[in-house]
Structure 1
Amino acid sequence: MTPTYNKVHNRFKFNGLHFSHEELKEVAYSLIKEGKPYEKVTGDFLIDWLNNKDFLVVTTSGSTGYPKQIKLKKQAMVNSAIATGNFFGLEPGDKALHCLPSHFIAGKMMFVRALVLGLEIDFVEPAAQPVFDFEKTYDFCAMIPLQLKHTIKYIDNIKNIIVGGSKVTKPLIEKIKDCKPRFYETYGMTETVTHVAVRSLESKNGKKEPYFTALQNIKFEQDDRGCLLIHAPKLVKETLVTNDIVELKSDQSFKLLGRFDNVINSGGVKLFPEQIEDKIQPVIEERFILVGEEDATLGEKLILIVEQPKDSVEDILKVIKELKNLEKFEVPKKIYTIDKFPETNNRKIQRKKAAKLVLEAK
């Protein structure tokens, strides 16, 4: 029988203690009244989850536009939790570490998974460097790349770590190769109730997988732009149309190539900034992006924007040109610098806004 959103699993524990439906309401009120700011947000979420409504109003991250509020069915969130539990083999009594903010869907879903699957969840402050019991063994954890970067020395007792929210950079991918946990990069969005697909990354106990694999009851196809269409009837009724260009391996597997709205058409050659950024990452320490600038000859030319670089523009261009895996047309035609990238609420770079700021200031 499929669990429902108005039930609390009898194996659920929150920071070591089990709470019934009514007891959890009291905990939520206490968090709102006496908790730290991040605990107040969690209390608000729990109150909303435990009320009689069959939906939640959640805010999107704004990574592909302005943040907006949407309604998610609570049962869809339960279905997502079950799909995650099945994929990772989570059982009642398994231990989960929760270090994400409860503002966004990823943080909310950590609690939903615990409530539905009967997990024992330890909730800690969602800082850039979360502090948790480094000696304790955890079965499951979700982190953003920044958190993983700062806790890389303390995670060997975590069995499975999913990483999402922003791009997992190549330097970070190299670091986790020597770690014990199994790492998974996730693909999803607020509208799909967090991830609908995952791909494993290389570690001591994990193999690298270039393709994202669908969770149960999820199917994929492409539209005429080459962008991903998501069929997830247990999560959302309508087919979701994305702007993510993919290489489709099957209806349950794909490789992510880049964003349709980021593609640069330079002299008839389509350039995917995200793929070129992957190649350049090893030689630039600072944050950077590749975008297009209008050009009389090429239509658009590839330009690089770097945040507060320690090296000169000339030196940066020199090391880029020395990269063996970079095609001639993938070398930026110009390099600009910026003091601080404009960001979304969850620290994703706003590409279009950054490009506008730089190009209007030149």
Structure 2
Amino acid sequence: MLPQSIDINGRVISGEEGFREALRTETNDEIRKVLEFCLHWCGPDPEVVLHTSGSTGVPKEIHAKKTAMLASARMTVERLGLKAGDTALLCLPMDYIAGQMVVVRALLAGLRVIVQDPSRHPFEGLTESPVFAALVPLQVKASLETPKEEALMRGVRELIIGGAATDDTLAAILKTFPHHVWSTYGMTETLSHVALRPLSGPKAGPWYEPLPGVTLSESSRGTLVISAPAIDVPRIETNDIVKFAEGSKEFRVLGRVDNVIDTGGIKVPAEALEDAIRSEMPVPFAVTWLPDEDLGSAVTVEVESDHPIALPDFRAILKREGLSPYWKPRHAVFVPKISQTRSGKPDRKGIQRAAAEAKGDLKQDL
């Protein structure tokens, strides 16, 4: 039988009837979403309908077995050493797997859930640090802007960060945190994360380690293949280009196959180029492409600004980083806002479309 009892903001609710009764009187929208999920969890349907973020295509529905979600929760709870009575901050949307899995972990392990509205400031109004929290980078950055919120975030014993890349500047700050901070690797299809990499302490670095029960390999395309029967994933070949540490099951992500720009036969991973230049870019940006008669596609940097601004010396950066000079962006376009999905990931199709539509002095050759 699935666990059916949970502590939500200090109120213990159990069973299908308990969740139904709580829904009759609850007025907080976020708590209502948790209660609705728990009510369905207690029902006879063996599956939960999940929604992908749409970061690499059209959002879609996925039907996940509740037993598989429970197995995923168990892998995380055991890896992080979470115990009954530990507090868990829920500040991610319940529309997506990340928020739902916080609830499933709480149901499984007896965690006490603290429900906050999904916002840039998840620690606002709290008086003490939760034991466990799952955030996206945008929330981490915003919390660092307020001393009280930063102190609360630093006090989290097990902090996992996912949904988007953690840039080098943020990683340098997180390395100084006194407790465990992890970057997660996973997707809706794998029921949240299947691997973690440390962002804090002496072991902080680029390498992810799979959770127990997860087997990883490399496809003929150089992409990551995931096998995890316990979470109902016999085999998934991802579009992430990876490199395994020699003689180890640890891996690092170099970029996505579908985000590789073929420019005159040179393959340029957009994410890898973004990582290389990020520390010297003064404003938000993304790497994309524009059609080119000679090259097929020309590497382009899309910059969040309503007017042209000075950009760094990309050629010098590439030389310093030991990367090919052919990765240098040939064009810059300036847009009011870099396109993102609802979950905060780069909307690659929207980014490329905005680049193609740029006109006048908002489109420049480099």
TM-score (norm 2): 0.88
Q: Verify: 1:105 aligned to 2:69, yes or no.
A: no
Q: Does the CA-based 8 Å contact 1:125-1:131 persist in structure 2?
A: no
Of the three residues 78, 84, 93, the one matched with 1:86 is: 78
Contact 2:190 2:233 in 1 (8 A): no
Q: Which amino acid aligns with 1:169?
A: D
The counterpart of 1:235, out of the listed 226, 231, 236, is: 231
Distance 2:352 2:244 in 1: 30
Q: Which moved more, 1:40-49 or 1:143-152?
A: 40-49
Equivalent position of 1:51 in the other structure: 43
Which of these residues, 178, 181, 200, is aligned with residue 179 of structure 2? 181
Structure 2 residue 249 is matched with structure 1 residue 286: no
Question: How many angstroms apart in 2 are the aligned matches of 1:346 and 1:238?
Answer: 27
Question: Partner residue of 1:170?
Answer: 168
Q: Is the 8 A contact 2:286 2:338 kept in 1?
A: no
Q: 1:277 to 1:94 in 2, by over 3 A?
A: same
Partner residue, 1:40 = 32
Distance 1:255 1:13 in 2: 37
Structure 2 unaligned blocks of 5 or more: 145-149, 360-366
On the 8 A contact 1:306/1:336 being kept in 2, the answer is yes
What whole-Å deviation, never above 9, does each CA across 1:187-228 have from its counterpart, x for those lacking one?
A: 111111000111011x3x452132111111111112211111
What residue is the counterpart of 2:362 in the other structure? Answer: none
The structural deviation recorded for 1:268 is: 2.6
Shift of 1:137: 3.8
CA separation in 1, counterparts of 2:179 and 2:187? 24
1:309 CA displacement:
6.0
The alpha carbon displacement at 1:103 in A equals 0.9
For residue 22 of structure 2, the aligned residue among 5, 19, 27 is: 27
Counterpart of 2:205 in structure 1 is 209
Contact conserved, 1:283 with 1:320, CA < 8 A, in 2? no
**2:298 and 2:330 in contact (8 A); partners too:** yes
Return the alpha-carbon distance in structure 2 between the equivalents of residues 279 and 182 of structure 1.
26
Question: CA 1:350/1:137 → structure 2, altered by over 3 Å: closer, same or farther?
Answer: closer
Q: Secondary structure at the match of 2:154?
A: coil
User: In the alignment, is the contact (CA less than 8 A) between 1:98 and 1:124 conserved in 2?
Assistant: yes
1:322 Cα deviation (Å)?
4.1
- Structure 1 runs (4+) deviating above 3 angstroms are 28-31, 131-135, 249-252, 318-322
In the TM superposition, residue 186 of structure 1 has moved relative to its aligned partner by 0.4
User: Does the 8 A contact of 2:301 with 2:331 survive in 1?
Assistant: yes
Give the number of equivalent residue pairs. Answer: 348
Pairing of 1:270-285 with structure 2 (within 5 A)? 270-285=267-282
Distance 1:209 1:173 in 2: 9
Q: Name which of 260, 264, 267 aligns with 2:264.
A: 267
Residue 10 of structure 2 is aligned to residue 16 of structure 1? yes
Distance 1:96 1:206 in 2: 25
- Residue 133 of structure 2 corresponds to 141
What residue ranges of structure 1 are gaps of 5+ in the alignment?
Answer: none
Q: Single out whichever of 101-110 and 16-25 deviates more from structure 2.
A: 16-25
Paired residues of 2:333 and 2:358 also in contact (CA < 8 A): no
Question: Is 1:224 the equivalent of 2:225?
Answer: no
Instruction: Let me know the Cα RMSD of the aligned residues.
Output: 2.1
CA–CA distance in 2 between the matches of 1:29 and 1:169?
43
Name the structure 2 match of 1:127: 119
Does the residue aligned with 1:281 lie in a helix, a strand or coil?
Answer: helix
Query: Paired residue for 2:156, among 148, 155, 158?
Result: 158
* CA apart distance, 1:106: 0.4
| Residues in 2 aligned to 1:128 and 1:197: alpha-carbon distance in whole angstroms | 25
Residue by residue, what CA displacement relative to the aligned partner does 1:255-276 show, whole Å, maximum 9, x if unpaired?
A: 1010001111223322111111
Distance 1:61 1:220 in 2: 23
Amino acid at match of 1:219: T
TM-score by length of 1: 0.89
The answer on whether the counterparts of 2:334 and 2:358 sit within 8 Å (CA) in structure 1 is no
State whether residues 245 and 256 of structure 1, in contact with CA within 8 Å, keep that contact through their aligned partners in structure 2: yes
Is the partner of 1:244 in helix, strand or coil? Answer: strand
CA contact (8 A) 2:87 2:112 kept: yes
Amino acid at match of 2:236: L
Task: Give aligned-pair identity as a percent.
Answer: 33
Tell me if the contact between 2:175 and 2:204 (Cα under 8 Å) persists in the aligned partners. Answer: no
Alignment deviations for residues 110-154 of structure 1 (CA, whole Å, 9 cap, x no partner) = 011001011122111111112356542422110010111111323
